[in-house]
Structure 1
Amino acid sequence: MRLIAAALIACLATPLLAAEPLDGAAFEARVIGQTFSFQVGGQSYGAEQYLPGRRVIWAFSDGPCREGTWSEPEPGRICFVYDHAPDDPQCWSFFDDDGRLRARFQGGLPQDDLIEARRSPAPLACPGPDLGA
């Protein structure tokens, strides 16, 4: 009985191994040519299309499309820079979560992670500016 209790205490005292973030090569291989829709807490958050040359098109749910690029300034940290805000990089860590992408904003909390809701080879739907004006 003491042996079982000691083993239980040792397991509880050992921190759970955190998943390692994807490096740039693994991230690129996973996303290139795909459009991902993400959600937070079961609610739609936005979608991003991943193009050749580390280019992207992002749109918040019901927001305008924004073009940008991504880079990996250090292993496991993927940073996006969008044309509308070139001085404001958005850095994330991406994880494989049972075959789905999970993204955590730099310094963010796990409960705020973006979770892949859908993936498609179809391009992101980006209506033209000032349509109907």
Structure 2
Amino acid sequence: MRWAALLLAISFATAPAVAAEPGAPLDAAGFDALTVGRTLYYNSGGQPYGVEQYLPGRKVVWAFLGDDCRKGEWYEEGGFICFVYEDNPSPQCWTFWDSDEGLVARFRGDPEGLPLIAVEQSPEPMQCLGPNVGV
């Protein structure tokens, strides 16, 4: 487990800080095709940010790095991919693009903010800390 964390930290440290946002944003079908059955590791500004596992039926499990896992789901609304989680029912909406650097996400209402970039993906489930161990 410690080796996996070390490798993850190294991969985040070597990832590009900013990615281009080419082409049209992904719709629900495009987003689902790129994510379902995968666990994606995100960074922001070249720093580790979090990890999300995408399950069938638009279900997800999210964790900020080093934090507890949170179950949730996603849906498309007005061109955004929106997420709601068990501990926060307020939608968190993002625009996603597929880029050469990986999947890029920009938070709605913060067009100048740093994007999240999926710098690594795996077919393996997340390793959850806290109350949702084994999710």
Is this a same-fold pair by TM over 0.5? yes
SS of the aligned residue for 1:64 comes to coil
AA aligned opposite 1:116? A
Q: Alignment partner for residue 86 of structure 2, among 83, 90, 113?
A: 83
Name the counterpart of 1:92.
Answer: 94
TM (norm. structure 2) is: 0.77
Within 5 Å, give how 1:58-73 maps onto structure 2.
58-73=62-77
1:9-28 to 2 correspondences below 5 Å: 19-28=23-32
CA separation of 1:80/1:123 partners in 2, compared to 1, >3 Å: closer, same or farther?
Answer: same
The alignment covers a number of residue pairs equal to 113
* Contact 2:70-2:132 at 8 Å conserved across structures: no
Q: Could you say which structure has the greater relative contact order, defined with CA pairs below 8 angstroms and 6 or more residues apart?
A: 2
Q: Percent identity?
A: 49
Aligned partner letter, 1:71: Y
Q: In structure 2, do the counterparts of structure 1 residues 21 and 122 end up closer, same or farther at CA, with 3 Å as the change threshold?
A: same
SS of alignment partner, residue 57 of structure 2: helix
Encode CA deviations 1:62-110: one digit per residue, 9 max, x unaligned.
11100000000223x1000001112x11000000111610000002235
**Relative to 1, partners in 2 of residues 1:123 and 1:107: Cα closer, same or farther, differing over 3 Å?**
same
User: What TM-score do you get using the length of structure 1 for normalisation?
Assistant: 0.78
Whole-angstrom CA distance in 2 between matches of 1:18 and 1:48: 23
Q: Which residues of structure 2 form unaligned runs of 5+?
A: 1-20
Using the alignment, how far apart are the partners of 2:126 and 2:117 within structure 1? 17
Q: Which amino acid aligns with 1:127?
A: L
Q: How does 1:37-48 map to 2 (within 5 A)?
A: 37-48=41-52
Distance change in 2, residues 1:46/1:18 (3 Å): same
Alignment RMSD, CA only?
2.0
Uncovered stretches (5+) of structure 1, i.e. residues with no partner? 1-16
Larger Rg computed on CA atoms: 1
**Matches of 1:130 and 1:28, distance apart in 2:** 24
